[in-house]
Chain A
């Protein structure tokens, strides 16, 4: 079995991941506690936070006991001292995705969490400045959601009358 840090909340499920030592599947309630436990265990850096919209894949491979939801938040932790990575995948919810922010553990997650909010509309409780970061502030919708089309710009000259 994969080792979890000593302070981890009980009942966190883990799984072997192909290119990462550990993938953990906490519930949203366990999420921050688990990351805090990893931090206490020497994971100094949270290199990345990103979201995934599994709209078409509720049947994806997850360990026994994890209820798949539409949105998933993936935090990549890195330990410089142990030279190890850990991926924390939390099921963020389907209708109103929402997890706690890691900002108070790792201030460097501020921009990645804002990006995840901007792209997926996942709310991060406790984030100091949850505003759009890449899209214009009056943009409607969250572009990386799977039900948001790639879109196209109507080309005017296609329909417009020619010179002759």
Chain B
């Protein structure tokens, strides 16, 4: 028997007016010409385009093509991504991305958690770049609160986000290598990432879902001797990126698999609202770290890597070089790291040090209030975005003055970037489709939230 309290009033009208039932790719003969044209990408050519009927292969019979499922349990779809492909022989005609297999209602959960607890929720969305998720969340909460973060916390946040960017790109290098048959790259990428994860564990106590960046600062100061650890990490990974060059970049089979495959133009990328390496590969120099600086990115020196052709090879080259640029930023962070507090000393936001609880009544009260109810955030709504390894990750938060966010929405870059899939896949062979999924780099935890 179903539990009626869980079901909101069902507007029957909705089923009448929408096709709520069909998330899937329908047969060609049952698809309208406009929709077929959409698959061709006619809408992307924008401004008053009328569909050229000759571009739509409307007359083709169903028995010539075949609709197959790739995923959701396919090893090359990087999680539970399901693609429905209409194939003509080995070539892809249409693609439909079906997502939602990892949907766990994290935005709904976020409404039931206090602002301090919220960081543990968002860190699980994009599980390859948890620090950057926490960062976008914390920046949003701090903007609503109007809390100033100490300089050291800002620089620690930068250091950790760049380390995280390197580790995320290393996983990408690894899985992309795996998808293209280079199993050694898989092992190397994960090996190098281990260095960073070990540093995370040393700093925050956890390897993956750190809950390290919190509203008001970071959870803990950097450990003793962190400069030496970072030095080793930077030197090792930088040196190994040149090994990757030898292993992959110059390798003829690898190049042939990537160059010229899956090219998109800047207009298409902008129309589809793509961000991150996908947008930069088309030659648009848009990186939030440079264009709309947050933290202290305006005080460090780095290059925004931009591609030319928008193909898979550009996206590979961008990510490889972003590792090097991130290492440049990390070195500057080590140099410029200021001394001071690693979190705001505002007692309304930051819990008092453990030792003070036994001595001070105020400290006890603040500690109790923070961990039972949490702090109150003034009413308002804010959107703030940072650059994640996959593009713009934004957090839209509505506060109503209480201790929990009224609404929290995460603008996930992979979710939007997946819309490029039908366009990229069109006309490609199935083996290239694997590469395409890989270079879009979706993280399904973030797509489905």
Whether A131 lies near B20 (C-beta < 8 A) is yes
Q: Given the complex, which residues of B lie within 8 Å of A115, measured CB to CB? A: 415
Whether B112 lies near A150 (C-beta < 8 A) is yes
Q: Given the complex, which residues of A lie within 8 Å of B241, measured CB to CB? A: none
Chain B nearest CB from A70 CB (Å) reads 13
Whether A83 lies near B19 (C-beta < 8 A) is no
- Cβ < 8 Å to B, chain A residues 100-121: 103-104, 106-112, 115, 117, 119, 121
Chain B nearest CB from A108 CB (Å) reads 3
A47-B385, A133-B100 as given contacts; A104 in contact with B43, CB under 8 Å: yes
A48-B394, A130-B18 as given contacts; A111 in contact with B416, CB under 8 Å: yes
Residue interface bits A24-55, CB-to-B below 8 A is 1, else 0: 00000000000000000000111110101100
Whether B43 lies near A121 (C-beta < 8 A) is no
Whether B379 lies near A80 (C-beta < 8 A) is no
Q: Given the complex, which residues of A lie within 8 Å of B274, measured CB to CB? A: 108
Whether A129 lies near B35 (C-beta < 8 A) is yes
Q: Given the complex, which residues of A lie within 8 Å of B34, measured CB to CB? A: 128
- Cβ < 8 Å to A, chain B residues 83-135: 99-100, 103, 105, 107-109, 112
Q: Given the complex, which residues of A lie within 8 Å of B382, measured CB to CB? A: 17-20
A47 to B3, CA, bound (A): 37
| Interface of chain B, main secondary structure | mixed
8 Å CB contact of A80 from B22, B43, B286, B415: B286
Whether B379 lies near A60 (C-beta < 8 A) is yes
Whether B19 lies near A110 (C-beta < 8 A) is no
The residue on B at minimum CB distance from A50 is B409
Whether A144 lies near B35 (C-beta < 8 A) is no
A47 to B392, CA, bound (A): 8
A11 to B340, CA, bound (A): 50
Q: For this complex, into which size category does the number of interface residues on chain A fall?
A: 35 or more
Whether B406 lies near A57 (C-beta < 8 A) is yes
Chain B nearest CB from A45 CB (Å) reads 5
Chain A nearest CB from B279 CB (Å) reads 9
Q: Given the complex, which residues of B lie within 8 Å of A76, measured CB to CB? A: 383, 394, 396, 411
Residue interface bits B279-314, CB-to-A below 8 A is 1, else 0: 000001010000110000000000000000000000
Q: Given the complex, which residues of B lie within 8 Å of A144, measured CB to CB? A: 107-108, 407
A135 within 8 A of B: yes
Whether A108 lies near B291 (C-beta < 8 A) is no
A17-B381, A19-B382, A150-B108 as given contacts; A83 in contact with B394, CB under 8 Å: no
B14 within 8 A of A: yes
Whether A45 lies near B273 (C-beta < 8 A) is yes
| Interface of chain A, main secondary structure | loop
A151 to B271, CA, bound (A): 38
- Chain B CB count within 10 A is highest, among A52, A104, A138, for A52
The residue on A at minimum CB distance from B6 is A151
A104-B43, A117-B18 as given contacts; A135 in contact with B275, CB under 8 Å: no
A87-B383, A111-B415 as given contacts; A137 in contact with B10, CB under 8 Å: no
Q: Given the complex, which residues of B lie within 8 Å of A96, measured CB to CB? A: 11, 13
Q: Given the complex, which residues of B lie within 8 Å of A134, measured CB to CB? A: 99-100, 103, 448-449
Whether A141 lies near B8 (C-beta < 8 A) is yes
The residue on A at minimum CB distance from B449 is A134
Whether A133 lies near B23 (C-beta < 8 A) is yes
A18-B380, A48-B394, A106-B273 as given contacts; A136 in contact with B14, CB under 8 Å: no
Q: Given the complex, which residues of A lie within 8 Å of B272, measured CB to CB? A: 107-108
A145 to B8, CA, bound (A): 8
Whether A128 lies near B35 (C-beta < 8 A) is yes
A64 within 8 A of B: no
**Sample of 6 further A-B pairs with CB below 8 A, known A138-B21, A150-B109:** A19-B383, A46-B273, A61-B380, A103-B43, A133-B99, A150-B112
User: Can you list 22 A-B contacts (CB < 8 A)?
Assistant: A18-B380, A47-B275, A47-B385, A48-B396, A50-B409, A56-B406, A61-B380, A76-B383, A80-B286, A83-B292, A108-B272, A123-B14, A123-B17, A131-B23, A132-B23, A135-B103, A137-B22, A149-B6, A150-B108, A150-B112, A151-B6, A154-B3
Chain A residues with a Cβ under 8 A of chain B: 17-20, 44-48, 50, 52-53, 56-57, 60-61, 74, 76, 80, 83, 85, 87, 96, 103-104, 106-112, 115, 117, 119, 121, 123, 128-138, 140-145, 147-151, 154
10 closest A-B pairs by beta carbon, nearest first, are: A108-B273, A141-B8, A134-B100, A48-B411, A148-B8, A108-B272, A19-B382, A134-B103, A151-B6, A50-B409
